[in-house]
Amino acid sequence: MDRTTLRSYRPGDWQAMYALDLICFAPVFQFNRGAMRSFAETPGAVTLLTESEGKLAGFCIAQLEDRTGYVVTLDVAPEWRRRGLARRLMAAVESKLHAAGAMETQLHVFTGNSAAIHFYESIGYERVGMAENFYAQNMHALIYRKKFDA
């Protein structure tokens, strides 16, 4: 990956994140403005962004509950895909979660999202279950987990 920078969330970033989320996801998966801001700004949230020349290229929001990190969303702009941005974002998010006390990270991914499934498996996530009707009727989620080394 080149010509991109990685940084933590700053107030107001949620607006560009919301706009990118509309591009990255079909309506059933999209966050509304309030949800995006709330997830990004929840105390303790790990919210990281990648930018190129001041323009948002990707972001990830994660939360820590007890000793488990949870990936709320991961979005990379179409023109920036397959250049290692998501891999870099996830590595940084996992590092922060681990430093904050997480022993593992979990996430849900739509059963039909083969790109994301390939991606998560490529960075060491293991499928540990399925949540039926998680997104909507007949739209199930796979549950993935990655345990951290002690």
Ligand X SMILES: CC(C)(COP(=O)(O)OP(=O)(O)OC[C@H]1O[C@@H](n2cnc3c(N)ncnc32)[C@H](O)[C@@H]1OP(=O)(O)O)[C@@H](O)C(=O)NCCC(=O)NCCS
In the complex, the residues that contact ligand X under the rule CB under 6 A are: 24-25, 74-76, 81-87, 109, 113, 115-116, 118-119, 122
Tokens of 32: 């509304």
In whole angstroms, the minimum distance from the beta carbon of 9 to ligand X comes to 18
Query: Running DSSP on this structure, what letter comes out for residue 29?
Result: G
The gap between the terminal CA atoms of the chain, to the nearest Å, is 29
* 132 φ/ψ angles, rounded to the nearest 5 degrees: -70, 145
Query: 88 or 96, CB closer to ligand X?
Result: 88
In the complex with ligand X, the residue whose CB is nearer, 3 or 101, is: 3
CB of 32 to ligand X, least distance (A): 17
Cβ proximity to ligand X: between 97 and 109 the closer is 109
Asked whether the beta carbons of 5 and 50 are under 8 A apart, the reply is: yes
Shortest distance, CB of residue 25 to ligand X, whole angstroms?
Answer: 6
The residue behind tokens 């399925």 is: 130
Nearer to ligand X, 7 or 101 (CB): 7
Q: Is 121 helix (H, G, I), strand (E, B) or coil?
A: helix
Nearer to ligand X, 79 or 150 (CB): 79
* Of 45, 47, 42, 43, residue with least CA distance to 17: 47
Three-state secondary structure call for residue 23: helix
Q: How far is the CB of 77 from ligand X (least distance, A)?
A: 8
Q: State the minimum distance, in angstroms, from the CB of residue 148 to ligand X.
A: 19
